[in-house]
Amino acid sequence: MTLLQYVVPSALEMKQVALQKLHITPCDWQIQSACAQLNKKDVITVSPTGSGKTMTFWIPMLFNANGIMIIITPSNILGEKNETEGNLFGIPAVNLTAKTATDKIFKEIEEFKYQIIAVSPECILKHHHFQNLFRLSKFTDKLFNITVDEGHCVSEWGDGFQSDYGELEKLRWLLPSHVTFHVASAAMPPHILQDVQNKLHMQSKKLVKDLDRILDFEGDQPHTPFMVFVNGRDEAERLTKHVRSMVPQHLQDKFVWFHSGMSMDFCSAMIEKLREGELWGIFCTDTAGMRLDLRDICLVIQWRYTKSLCTLVQHLGRAARDPNLEAVAVYFVEGEYFDEEPGKVPKKRKSALSGQKASKCAKTVVPTVPEDSGLSGCDADDVSDTEMRNDGPMSGSQTAHHDTSDSALILPQTVTGISKAISSPVSAAPAVPVTAKPTSASASVQILPIGLEVEEYKAVAMEVFINARGRGLCHRQILDEYFDNPKEPECTLHRKLEEWRELQMIEEDLDGDAFFGLQIVMSNGVLNHIIDLAHAHKIPDVTSLFAQTNWVYSDSYGQKIVDIIQVTIPTLLKPSQSLSSQVTRTASIPQHGS
């Protein structure tokens, strides 16, 4: 929680105060950058060398209720410049170097003697005093933002020359969600811009807003038992703290984090509390989550992209281990992993292995988040004195707003809108894929490419899985092929529905329609939705078909579709029936082809 409470002034007021205190009339782009920062948004400011980028540091400091700004610079010379300017404008500043990063200075920082702290990336990440500062809520509550001067270095230097730049993303997990990032540079071509955004996680925070909607806490009512799998310890702790902030104080101990750093005694105690209903949810890493054998979990979430389908299915398979229960599994994926346009595969999408995520908006310069967004050491002697380099100025100052849409896959239904989530059984754990180079004999229609190296094949398989619906593919088919699951001898439901659609076009004399094509009878979206519902045994009759799909031709063709489903999908076993045979047939989430 931030202690910085202030009213964002108008552009005119900003100019008047800046003129009075900084003795300069700011340009519109400088005001726009300052305003976005004061509105607690992540900001990237791109402006030519000598145009006054540092004014975008000082202007917000005039209005942010004495908040603290940490400026990360690539050289001591730039740090000294920021210290001199800040003090000249009446904003107490200090530049931390090998000589000045002393116990005395850090004690003064802790006592709020300085509002501007200039520091190298190496020092802020590894110095033990910063680690201690970030644990002090009284300090982080007054922290306004992290400003990265010469921000192109995050991309240009982060993978080699000064690798600490590439690790600045760690600050996202070390600091509270109210602390935003501001990046300033004169050298930010589109590919560098996107790389900086990705490395500093300067994308939309809509993902966390969607998590809040999925969990949907209602007063003191007990929540459905849930597990959230995350990709690191810090994120497990951060999300737990975020969820705790969404509920009354007396309910905050209902949520805990699990990771390999927890003692076995603690884990055992928390597991027992979860079984007894004293806990509502846990946020865990892969290794910790796999220790848990909980049979009544009704909601499992994979939080953010994971490169392995094996890991994904193992995580989602923790849901509904009691065969009498139904559960929902959700895969939250950052927007940059989705195709730019549904059904349109980009000519080039860099592999997840390279760490370069696909661009959704390469021309963005000031990424911001919606107003209602929910979310939210080294030795001193090692501080670098390396000179900053400049790859050349851009043609002009640029500012623009950006909101990358994040998405969720709801499994096993895998609809891409949260409001369409449907509960259904989640089966037992999958088999391990026997090969990374499947043969055409393993599937009637080859979906995944062959001849790739194992790691590349895994990345491509996940990309295809995430974008399956937009590409007209079935998630179950992808999993069946990837895991080399046994296939049903008869035609799959997906193929049968496609065959019916083609025949119906001929019967209705519509097969000559080149514009709408097969979509005029049943769109791919409706077809895939029907398959999802059918595998969950949610379409016993025509009434259910229309109620859950809103398909306009349900009255005309609904009974034919229901007949196809009943022939293709076996009747759902009741819980009292042979559980052992049901589990034996299960090789992955999909129990039937589609």
Band the pLDDT of 567: cuts 50, 70, 90.
confident
Q: State residue 344's pLDDT score.
A: 57
Lowest mean pLDDT among 50-64, 226-240, 281-295: 281-295
Task: Say which amino acid occupies 33.
Answer: S
57/46 Cα distance (integer angstroms): 13
Query: What is the average pLDDT score of the chain?
Result: 76
Of 297, 336, 529, the residue nearest 425 (C-alpha): 297
Lowest mean pLDDT among 55-69, 232-246, 313-327, 439-453: 439-453
Tokens 């979310």 belong to residue: 375
Q: What is the pLDDT of residues 140-168, one digit of tens each?
A: 999 999 999 999 988 888 666 677 888 89
Whether pLDDT at 366 is above 80: no
CA 228 to chain centre: 13
Instruction: Over range 540-559, report the average pLDDT.
Output: 91
Whether pLDDT at 296 is above 90: no
| Entry pTM | 0.53
Q: What is the pLDDT of residues 339-358, one digit of tens each?
A: 876 555 554 444 433 443 33
594/590 Cα distance (integer angstroms): 9
The residues, ordered by sequence, that sit 6+ positions from 13 with a Cβ below 8 Å of its Cβ are none
- Residue 483 tokens read as 């895991």
Q: State residue 104's pLDDT score.
A: 95
Q: What is the pLDDT of residues 189-214, one digit of tens each?
A: 888 888 888 888 775 555 667 777 78
The sheet carrying 143-149 orders its strands as 43-46, 180-185, 143-149, 68-72, 116-119, 93-95
Dihedral angle sign, alpha carbons of residues 14, 19, 24, 27: positive
Band the pLDDT of 546: cuts 50, 70, 90.
very high
| 207-331 matches 11-202 in CATH topology | yes
Q: What is the pLDDT of residues 426-477, one digit of tens each?
A: 333 333 333 333 333 334 567 888 888 888 889 999 999 999 888 888 888 8
Top CATH class of 11-202 equals alpha beta
- DSSP E strands in 6-99: the ranges are 43-46, 68-72, 93-95
Band the pLDDT of 181: cuts 50, 70, 90.
very high
Q: State residue 395's pLDDT score.
A: 32
Q: State residue 575's pLDDT score.
A: 40
Helix 554-568 × helix 542-549 angle, to 10° = 110
Sketch the domain layout of the chain as residue ranges. Answer: 11-202, 207-331, 492-567
Q: State residue 88's pLDDT score.
A: 95
CATH superfamily of 207-331: P-loop containing nucleotide triphosphate hydrolases (3.40.50.300)
Q: State residue 414's pLDDT score.
A: 30
What percent of the chain is predicted at pLDDT more than 70? 72
Q: What is the pLDDT of residues 401-434, one digit of tens each?
A: 333 344 455 543 332 222 223 233 333 333 333 3
CA 224 to chain centre: 23
Answer for the pair 146, 72: CB distance below 8 angstroms, yes or no: yes
Whether pLDDT at 115 is above 70: yes
